[in-house]
């Protein structure tokens, strides 16, 4: 591993541990030449899953795109960034465990909404309004109906 500071190819691993998503290994390294420390992550090489877009084109599955979408939906909501990262990891795990080489964007969007509903209901509605391209108030009402029915079932009477 080349040092990102001095480009020497001589370092030692100081600490190794599993990262928070359980998929990667986080390693703290120290360069033998300049003495600076840096962090690397190792992930198993996996087959690239392609996302089939609505227009039929195919693009590589992008974990960062999922994360950006969740961050946008959770903007100004009381959702911890660690929970967002854990949700992204859960979505990524679901994708790699349930799909071999391709997933339709519709299925991926539904998977994201399923996880987002558990994370934050307001963020779920925000994401759904963009993803499902709501045109009027009735579309919002239809998306909220299952949430409201679930709230009524949960409330003690």
pLDDT tens for residues 46-105?
A: 678 999 998 999 999 999 999 999 999 999 999 998 999 999 999 999 998 899 899 999
Torsion sign over Cα 127, 128, 131, 134: negative
Cβ atoms 12, 29 nearer than 8 A: yes
CB atoms within 10 A of CB 44: 8
Is this prediction's pTM over 0.85? no
CA–CA dist 39, 36 (Å, integer)? 11
């Amino acid at each position: 591993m080349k040092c990102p500071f001095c480009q020497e190819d001589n370092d030692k691993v100081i600490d190794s541990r599993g990262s928070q998503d359980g998929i990667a290994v986080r390693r703290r390294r120290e360069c033998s030449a300049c003495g600076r420390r840096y962090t690397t992550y190792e992930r198993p090489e996996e087959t690239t899953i392609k996302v089939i877009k609505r227009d039929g084109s195919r693009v590589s599955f992008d974990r960062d795109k999922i994360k950006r979408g969740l961050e946008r939906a959770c903007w100004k909501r009381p959702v911890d960034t660690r929970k967002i990262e854990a949700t992204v990891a859960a979505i990524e795990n679901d994708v790699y465990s349930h799909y071999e080489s391709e997933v339709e964007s519709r299925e991926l969007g539904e998977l994201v909404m399923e996880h987002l509903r558990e994370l934050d209901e307001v963020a779920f509605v925000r994401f759904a309004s963009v993803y499902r391209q709501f045109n009027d108030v009735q579309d919002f009402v239809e998306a909220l109906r299952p949430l409201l029915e679930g709230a009524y079932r949960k409330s003690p009477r």
